[in-house]
Amino acid sequence: MACIETRNITITAAPDPSKDCGYRFAMVEKGSNVTNDEIKSAKSNGVKQSDYHTFHFTLQNLEGSDLQFLNDPFDVMWVKPGNSSNPGSCPDKRMTDGDFCVGQITPSTLTVHNANSRNCKHKFVLNFYGTRADGSKGVVPYDPVWTNGNGGSP
């Protein structure tokens, strides 16, 4: 088992009362916005089924945002698989998928390992703690899409 790719993705968060969750989120990788908030990972020919991708998420609070990653490996990221063409609906409760394993968590960073064992789109929610749209403190969700390009070879 080997990590075949490590990616660094910054999640920016800014208060935005027009959004249901009270925040405007964006993902940035290598200086460019991640299109449609969709993370794509694929295994090329010859990669072993047991190989995986590692993603380091860094939270960047903007304009007075006070969010931080939840410090709970079961609640910081909920994952719900769809199929190869449709991610399905967003998880609205604690869910996981065997392809995803949460690693280290700090208030501003999260490491996730993706086994990418099958061609599948996932909906996932990253959960933060901070000031919500109504001014109270609590969980603030962000729900992008994740696409596994294929499952590699045996």
Q: 92 by DSSP, 3-state: which? A: coil
pLDDT, tens digit (0-9, with 9 covering 90-100), for 47-70? 787 788 899 999 999 988 999 999
Domain residue ranges of the chain, discontinuous segments joined by +: 3-148
CA-wise closest residue to 99 among 25, 39, 30: 39
Please give the mean pLDDT across all residues of the chain.
89
Secondary structure of 9-52 in HEC code, one letter for each residue: EEEEEEECCCCCCCEEEEEEECCEECHHHEEEECCCCCCECCCE
Helix (H) or strand (E) holding 59: strand 52-61
pTM: 0.90
Q: How confident is the model at residue 112 (pLDDT cuts 50, 70, 90)?
A: very high
Average of per-residue pLDDT across 82-95: 88
Could you say which of 2.60.40.420, 3.40.640.10, 2.40.30.20, 3.30.1330.10 is the CATH number of the domain covering 3-148?
Answer: 2.60.40.420
pLDDT at residue 2 greater than cutoff 70: yes
pLDDT at residue 83 greater than cutoff 90: no
User: Looking at residue 153, what is its pLDDT?
Assistant: 53
pLDDT, tens digit (0-9, with 9 covering 90-100), for 32-51? 999 888 888 887 767 787 78
Both tokens of 29, joined, read 């990788």
User: Looking at residue 150, what is its pLDDT?
Assistant: 67
User: Looking at residue 103, what is its pLDDT?
Assistant: 96
The answer to whether residues 122 and 105 touch, using CB atoms and an 8 Å cutoff, is no
Q: What contacts 24+ positions apart, CB below 8 Å, involve 80-87?
A: 80/122, 80/123, 80/124, 81/120, 81/121, 81/122, 82/120, 82/121, 82/122, 82/123, 83/120, 83/121, 84/119, 84/120, 84/121, 85/121, 86/121, 87/121, 87/122, 87/123, 87/145, 87/146, 87/147
